[in-house]
Amino acid sequence: MIRYDVADAVATITLDRPDAMNSLTAELKGALLDALRRAAGDRAIRAVLLTGSGRAFCAGQDLREHAGNLDAGRGLAGTVRAHYNPIVELLTTMEKPVVAAVNGVAAGAGASLAFACDLRVASEKAKFALAFAGIGLAPDSGASWTLQRLVGRGRATELMLLGEPLDAARALELGLVTRVVPADDVLKTAHELAVRLAQGPTVAYAATKRALAYSATHSLPDSLAMEADLQDFCVATRDHLNATQAFLAKERPTFNAE
């Protein structure tokens, strides 16, 4: 259900249930969480690429499995706390950049997974749908947190309450995606972007992610203090020293995540 490939210090994690539009069963969610933990803990991996096989990125929760849980009186069967929450928390806090290659439909929790990534490259054929309200549910997988930070609270409310799908062009206009490319180029473009990030200052990227998350919920004085702490940490790294010397020598810096 998951393919895990490594090249150029990039771990590509592919949701691999194409016949079911990569919809999320408990087994797939467990495998995805394991793959993300593997990538996060591997110092040789400096960027992560998340994508789906076939015509969909991820259609969200597998509703057949969900219906079975409802019939058995199990409700959500604990999947939000056991699977979705740790997956999204890991995507957003991982100390390396995460790029989503949105090759097709991203609906419900599938859209939420894409929003939790740092950058999103979308196919011209991609569509996003916040489908939670349409089946009588509140948002999960961090969508209430990530979406309003991408497009603002008013637009996030509209997208969630109405549940109308967005095509790739509209998603780009709203700032939901970083780039839109032809369908045949989406994985190549996303991988090139991930490789570029993998060759960059990994420690500084991690500090940047932390600063953005902190400042989103704290005051300016608190955010300034956090920035100062993070700069104190980064300035002591070998990457900063080497990059400063390379700049003065008019050379291209090499970063080693140190």
pLDDT category, 256, cuts 50, 70, 90?
A: confident
What are 167's strand-pairing partners? 127
Residue 41 is predicted with a pLDDT of 96
Residue 254 lies in a domain: no
Average pLDDT, the chain: 95
Between CA 39 and CA 89 the distance in angstroms is 14
Higher-confidence position of 258 and 242: 242
Tell me if residue 233 falls in helix, strand or coil. Answer: helix
Between CA 151 and CA 141 the distance in angstroms is 17
89-106 mean pLDDT: 97
Of 74, 130, 69, 119, nearest to 94 by C-alpha is 119
Q: What are the C-alpha distances in Å from 173 to residues 104, 177, 178?
A: 18, 8, 10
In 108-244, DSSP assigns E strands to 119-123, 127-129, 166-167, 179-181
Other beta carbons less than 10 A from residue 189's beta carbon? 20
State whether 194 and 234 are in the same domain.
no
State whether 55 and 133 are in the same domain.
yes
* Residue that is last in its domain, among 198, 218, 239: 198
89-113 mean pLDDT: 97
pLDDT category, 108, cuts 50, 70, 90?
A: very high
pLDDT of 88 > 90? The answer is yes
* Residue in this structure with the two tokens 């999204």, named with its chain if needed: 88
The CATH number that applies at residue 216 is: 1.10.12
Between CA 114 and CA 121 the distance in angstroms is 10
State whether 208 and 84 are in the same domain.
no
The CATH number that applies at residue 154 is: 3.90.226.10
Q: Which of 61-75, 89-103, 244-258 has the highest mean pLDDT?
A: 89-103
Query: pLDDT tens-digit profile of 24-55?
Result: 999 999 999 999 999 999 999 999 999 999 99
State whether 89 and 184 are in the same domain.
yes
Judge whether 22 and 52 are in contact, CB under 8 Å: yes
pLDDT category, 75, cuts 50, 70, 90?
A: confident
State whether 171 and 45 are in the same domain.
yes
- Domain membership of residue 37 as a residue range: 2-198
Query: pLDDT tens-digit profile of 152-174?
Result: 999 999 999 999 999 999 999 99
Q: By percentage, how much of the chain surpasses pLDDT 70?
A: 100
pLDDT of 195 > 80? The answer is yes
Q: By percentage, how much of the chain surpasses pLDDT 90?
A: 90
73-83 mean pLDDT: 91
State whether 182 and 206 are in the same domain.
no
State whether 177 and 67 are in the same domain.
yes
* Residue that is last in its domain, among 183, 198, 213: 198
pLDDT of 257 > 90? The answer is no
Residue 68 lies in a domain: yes
β-strand 105-107 against 127-129: which pairing, if any? Answer: parallel
State whether 60 and 112 are in the same domain.
yes
Residue 253 lies in a domain: no
State whether 141 and 154 are in the same domain.
yes
State whether 35 and 69 are in the same domain.
yes
Residue 122 lies in a domain: yes
Other beta carbons less than 10 A from residue 163's beta carbon? 16
Residue 66 is predicted with a pLDDT of 87
State whether 180 and 214 are in the same domain.
no
pLDDT of 131 > 90? The answer is no
Q: What's the domain count of the chain? A: 2
State whether 115 and 44 are in the same domain.
yes
pLDDT category, 70, cuts 50, 70, 90?
A: confident
Residue 256 lies in a domain: no
Task: Give the amino acid at 171.
Answer: A
Residue 69 is predicted with a pLDDT of 85
In the chain, DSSP assigns E strands to 2-7, 10-15, 47-52, 56-58, 98-102, 105-107, 119-123, 127-129, 166-167, 179-181
Residue 69 lies in a domain: yes
The DSSP annotation for 4-22 comes to EEEETTEEEEEE--GGGTT
Residue 258 is predicted with a pLDDT of 77
Q: Which residues of 194-218 are buried (b: 16+ CB within 10 A; e: fewer)?
A: bbebbbbbbbbbbbebbbeebeeee
